[in-house]
Amino acid sequence: MTYKETFWMACDSTEQLRAEYGPFHTRAEAEREAGKLGFSYLLRYEHLIGENEDIKEVRCIFIELEPEGSMPRLVLRLHTRCATCGESAIHDHGWQAEVWADIHEFEHSRHRVRLFEQTRAEGLKEIAGWRDACA
């Protein structure tokens, strides 16, 4: 009869030459030690043991730990849209949105560009007066 044996290690990287500390029976134990050592990863070893107590297969799974006290990273996207003609663009950085708006307003006199930020948690939200704040 084949069975699976699992144990945990704390480790500092996913590179081949890495420091590993353990083994631990539970993930909680490994996480505690990783925190003490300043390690950013856990390594879960799964051994499939055969009928003759020989190892048939070994699986290694890396798990990246969140830094202590950190908030989940929110993906922020910036959207610019001309209130006059409706032309729009999506940006990763604030400076890109500002450059796009400058060019659009320069090429089209009397056009006004609005800025929106989008996150998964809050959706699309307008940033009012953003052009006045930059001046």
pLDDT per 10-residue tile (average), the chain, 135 residues: 89 88 93 90 91 89 78 72 92 89 92 87 82 61
Please tell me the distance from the alpha carbon of residue 124 to that of residue 9, in angstroms, as a whole number: 42
Range of the domain at 101: 77-134
Split into its structural domains, the chain has a count of 2
pTM beyond cutoff 0.75: no
Query: What's the confidence (pLDDT) of residue 111?
Result: 93
Query: What's the confidence (pLDDT) of residue 69?
Result: 59
To which H or E segment does residue 94 belong?
helix 94-107
Q: Which of 64, 87, 104 is the last residue of a domain?
A: 64
Judgement on whether residues 86 and 59 belong to the same structural domain of the protein: no
Judgement on whether residues 130 and 96 belong to the same structural domain of the protein: yes
Cis check: omega of the bond before 23, within 30 degrees of 0: yes
Domain-located, residue 69: no
- DSSP-derived letter for residue 130 is H
* Environment class of 31 (CB within 10 Å of its CB; exposed 0-12, middle 13-18, buried 19+): middle
User: What are the backbone dihedrals phi and psi of residue 29, each rounded to the nearest 5 degrees, phi first?
Assistant: -60, -45
Judgement on whether residues 56 and 90 belong to the same structural domain of the protein: no
